[in-house]
Amino acid sequence: MFPNRTAYTTGTSPWSVAVVDVNSDNKSDIVVTSVGDNTVGVLRNTGSGTFSTPVSYSVGNSPNYVVVVDVNSDNKPDIVVTNQNSNNVGVLLNTGSGTFNGQITYPVGGSPMSLAVGDVNSDNKPDIVVANYVGNISVLFNTGSGTFNTQTTYSVGVHPQSVAVVDVNSDNKSDIVVTNYGSNTVGVLLNTGSGIFNAQTTYSIGGGSQALAVVDVNSDNKPDIIAANMGTASVNVLLNAGNGTFNAQTNYTVGSGPVAVAVADVNSDNKPDIIVVNTNVNTISVLLNAGGGIFNAQTPYSVGSEPQSVAVADVNNDNKPDIIISNTNWNAVGVFLHC
């Protein structure tokens, strides 16, 4: 399904990757953080899923997660990055043609690990939600023009790692879902309105959950939780039971050291599949959806040294999803075109 990769050199120790058309040419580009040299690199798609040398932008210390989304309503996607050792998030506004201004930083809690961007207070402006390793979530409301208010924080579990912003209880308000690495739980914080959140409800999962996605995998129009679990070398699926509550997990074996997860239909059967990055064995696992939110056993693919992040997007405009991986030890991103 996915042949050998094409590698593109990045900055030192590439970590988090996103794939978005940043220069409005209808071709998906790659944005990647490099924790070794404190930059974000933009690799423009030159056509047919090939990419240019990265243009780098300085950000904060140890940028470990990136999201690319329009935060100032100018129809140009902007870069939002967590700077782990600077204890802030950086916002780089798109000036047009896929070039970016210098970052504007906003303090958050200690050691931000990941972020999500979504409208949580129903004002049609995307807000920033950050998972902080110290044990809380930061919510920064968008004040307009892509500037953000001071954070509001919510306590969650021990060492939160990954966060998503999705309406899980069908009330048209965006809720927060977070993996608590040190507590072996997933936390769900329901939105009470105007971007105020209840205390988390927790669901037990295996030890050491690093990453999550929140997507409807069983076609019931309710988003489900998919978490990558380091401690058990598995991916956990928690189906949404309705009203934002979740059933007990179903576990599927993957490779050693799963650190990232994406959900996308990779075999064109209109059922979302799971893609997991296994950093300890230098593979990804693809688990095809058998229907009803049940998944087949993994098919592994070798992806290069120390993969850390995954994105799934059609980068060569053939209407088939491709896989993009960051390889930390090789200072490169790998592009796997769907065959």
Q: What is the pLDDT of residues 204-234, one digit of tens each?
A: 997 778 899 999 999 999 999 999 999 899 9
The confidence score (pLDDT) of residue 207 equals 76
Would you state the structure tokens that stand for residue 249, as one six-digit string?
């997990």
Residue 259 sits at the vertex; the CA angle it makes with 158 and 111, to the nearest 5 degrees, is 45
pLDDT tens digits, 61-112:
999 999 999 999 999 999 999 999 999 999 999 999 899 999 999 999 899 9
Q: Which helix (H) or strand (E) holds 56?
A: strand 55-58
Spatial separation of the C-alpha atoms in residues 151 and 197, rounded to whole Å? 13
Chain centroid to Cα 196, Å, comes to 23
Question: Is the CA virtual torsion 13, 17, 22, 24 positive or negative?
Answer: positive
- Which three-class secondary structure state does DSSP give residue 282? coil
CA distance between the termini of the chain: 6
Q: What is the rounded average pLDDT of the residues 39-45?
A: 98
Domain count for the chain, please give it: 1
pLDDT tens digits, 167-212:
999 999 999 999 999 999 999 999 999 899 999 999 999 777 889 9
Q: What is the rounded average pLDDT of the residues 297-323?
A: 94
**Residue 193, class by beta-carbon neighbours within 10 Å (0-12 exposed, 13-18 middle, 19+ buried)?**
exposed
Q: Is the distance from CB of 223 to CB of 241 less than 8 angstroms?
A: no
Per-residue DSSP letter, 213:
E
- Is the predicted pLDDT of residue 1 greater than 90, yes or no? no
The confidence score (pLDDT) of residue 339 equals 78
Give the pLDDT band (50/70/90) at residue 145: confident
- Is the predicted pLDDT of residue 2 greater than 80, yes or no? no
Spatial separation of the C-alpha atoms in residues 124 and 132, rounded to whole Å? 25
The verdict on pTM exceeding 0.95 is: yes
The confidence score (pLDDT) of residue 98 equals 92
Domain that holds residue 203: 4-337
Q: What is the rounded average pLDDT of the residues 47-58?
A: 95
Spatial separation of the C-alpha atoms in residues 312 and 262, rounded to whole Å? 7
The confidence score (pLDDT) of residue 338 equals 84
Mean pLDDT of the chain: 95
- Is the predicted pLDDT of residue 4 greater than 70, yes or no? no
Question: Is the CA virtual torsion 248, 253, 257, 261 positive or negative?
Answer: negative
Q: What is the rounded average pLDDT of the residues 28-50?
A: 96
Q: Which domain CATH number covers 288?
A: 2.130.10.10
pLDDT tens digits, 239-287:
999 989 999 999 999 999 999 999 999 999 999 999 999 999 999 999 9
Would you state the structure tokens that stand for residue 82, as one six-digit string?
């967590």
